[in-house]
Amino acid sequence: MRIVGLGLWDRCNFAFRTNVKPVSIITYNLNENFMKTLAKISTLSFLLLFLISGIKLQAQDPTVVLGGLEWMTTNLDVATFRNGDAIPEVKTAKEWKKAGEAGTPAWCYYENSPSYGFSVGGANGRLYNWYALTDPRGLAPEGWRIPEKADWEKITNIYGDNRARLYNDLIKGGISGFEVILAGRRHPKGEFEYFETYTTMWTSSLTDDGKSTYYMEFNPQWPIAGMREGMKGTGSYVRCVKVK
């Protein structure tokens, strides 16, 4: 969220002129008695009162259209499948590795802390293994779906071989509005890694041999963004695509 002020300096200056009859200032209708009361309040308190009352929150646009598809601009953050069944939260490295080896769904927060995302400009969402996003009970909310490799390629194809520009446009603050946060990932063995220096986002697609998966990586070191192959037990973030 961004905090946006309403530009109240002139309003505050005007209100300090206590010998002026009360007027209607935008949405603030101040009667004479209220104006006299405010005149007795200290300058600092009065200014703070009006500044606070004139602040509003402006939400990030929840979706963006890229490559002809409508995408969420925040990472998925659900703890249940679409049918209401709970997705197991797996905290320890031992249990995370075990879930990947057994092929069972799992989710976690980075370092098991939902507050981690705020240090990089917003909530992370949750990390999921590949088995969570391909479970037949459905991970994506109603009206949404998990992106396939081909969906991501509709974005990457716009940029051709210019993967540095792809990274810069999709990262938080980039011109695309996609707002990727460098919120790390979880290794199949259970270690958390690369917070604020790297991140990955899932596709539901498998490689031809069925042993590995495809995901999008975002690496500021080069900078670069693009498709990679990885392990199903990895913990990555999810961006959903609107069902047409």
For 147, other C-beta atoms within 10 Å of its C-beta total: 27
Measuring CA to CA, which residue among 88, 91, 113, 85 is closest to residue 103? 88
Band of pLDDT at residue 133, cut at 50, 70 and 90: very high
Encoded amino acid at 79, one letter: A
Residue with tokens 């309040």: 41
pLDDT score recorded for residue 29: 41
pTM: 0.74
Residue 108 has pLDDT above 70, yes or no: yes
Among residues of the chain, what percentage have pLDDT more than 90? 69
Across the range 179-186, mean pLDDT stands at: 95
- Which residues, 6+ apart, have CB-to-CB distance to 83 below 8 Å? 137, 138
Residue 27: both structure tokens together? 């949405």
- Which residues, 6+ apart, have CB-to-CB distance to 225 below 8 Å? 156, 163, 166, 167, 170, 171, 180, 216, 217, 218, 219
Q: Cα dihedral sign for 115, 121, 123, 125?
A: negative
pLDDT score recorded for residue 116: 74
Band of pLDDT at residue 119, cut at 50, 70 and 90: low
Distances (CA, A) of 56 to 1, 5, 47, 72: 10, 7, 16, 23
Band of pLDDT at residue 114, cut at 50, 70 and 90: confident
Rounded to 5 degrees, what are φ and ψ at 164? -70, -45
Measuring CA to CA, which residue among 70, 83, 75, 67 is closest to residue 202? 75
- Which residues, 6+ apart, have CB-to-CB distance to 227 below 8 Å? 149, 152, 153, 156, 203, 214, 215, 216, 217
For 145, other C-beta atoms within 10 Å of its C-beta total: 16
Locate the DSSP E strands across 67-133: 69-72, 107-108, 127-128
Across the range 37-59, mean pLDDT stands at: 37
Q: pLDDT for 167-180, tens place per residue?
A: 999 999 999 999 99
Band of pLDDT at residue 120, cut at 50, 70 and 90: low
In Å, how far from its chain's centre is CA 143? 19
More confidently predicted of 94 and 25: 94
Strand partners, 66: 69
Cα–Cα distance measured from residue 125 to residue 77, given in angstroms and rounded to the nearest whole number: 5
More confidently predicted of 16 and 130: 130
pLDDT score recorded for residue 182: 94
Residue 72: both structure tokens together? 């969420």
DSSP category for residue 190: S
Across the range 56-83, mean pLDDT stands at: 85
pLDDT score recorded for residue 41: 41
Secondary element (H or E) of residue 241: strand 241-242
Per the CB < 8 A criterion, the answer to whether 128 and 109 are in contact is no
